[in-house]
Amino acid sequence: MAHASDGRSLEFRLPDLGEGLTEAEIVRWLVEVGDVVAVDQPVVEVETAKAMVEVPCPYGGVVTARFGEEGAELPVGAPLVTVAVGEVDGAEDAAADGPARGTGAAEAPAAKTPAAEKKAEGSGNVLVGYGTSEAPARRRRVRPDRPAATGVSGRANGRVRAAGPVDGPVRVAEPADGPVPVISPLVRRLARQHDLDLRELAGSGPDGLILRADVEYALRAAAAQGGRTADQEAGAIRVPDAASASSGAFSAPSAGPHPDGTRVPLKGVRGAVADKLSRSRREIPDATCWVDADATELMRARTAMNASGGPRISLVALLARICTAALARFPELNSTVDTEAREIVRLDRVHLGFAAQTDRGLVVPVVRDAHARDAEGLTAEFARLTEAARAGRLTPGDLTGGTFTLNNYGVFGVDGSTPIINHPEAAMLGVGRIVPKPWVHEGELAVRQVVQLSVTFDHRVCDGGTAGGFLRYVADCVEQPAVLLRTL
Q: Which residues are catalytic?
A: 459, 463
- What's the DSSP call for residue 88? B
Contact 158, 185 (CB under 8 A): no
- What's the DSSP call for residue 144? T
Beta-bridge partner residues of 11: 82
Beta-bridge partner residues of 286: 458
Q: In whole angstroms, how far apart are CA 132 and each of 92, 122, 128, 151, 195? A: 36, 12, 8, 27, 34
| Kind plus residue range of the DSSP H or E element containing 43 | strand 41-47
Beta-bridge partner residues of 86: none
Helices (H), 128-171: none
Q: Can you tell me the distance from the alpha carbon of 288 to that of 138, in angstroms, rounded to the nearest whole number?
A: 55
Q: Can you tell me the distance from the alpha carbon of 169 to that of 192, in angstroms, rounded to the nearest whole number?
A: 37
Q: Can you tell me the distance from the alpha carbon of 187 to that of 175, in angstroms, rounded to the nearest whole number?
A: 20
357 phi, psi to nearest 5 deg: -90, 125
Helices (H), 185-314: 185-193, 212-226, 242-246, 268-283, 296-307
SS3 of 37-85: ECCCEEEEEEECCCCEEEEEECCCEEEEEECCCCCCEEECCCEEEEEEE
| 380: helix, strand or coil | helix
| 472: helix, strand or coil | helix
| Single-letter amino acid, residue 307 | A
* Range 335-359 burial, b when 16+ CB lie within 10 A, else e: bbbeeeeeeeeeeeebbbbbbbebe
Contacts of 282 (CB under 8 A, 6+ apart): none
Q: Can you tell me the distance from the alpha carbon of 288 to that of 468, in angstroms, rounded to the nearest whole number?
A: 10
Q: Can you tell me the distance from the alpha carbon of 183 to that of 75, in angstroms, rounded to the nearest whole number?
A: 8
Beta-bridge partner residues of 289: 455
65 phi, psi to nearest 5 deg: -160, 145
| 363: helix, strand or coil | strand
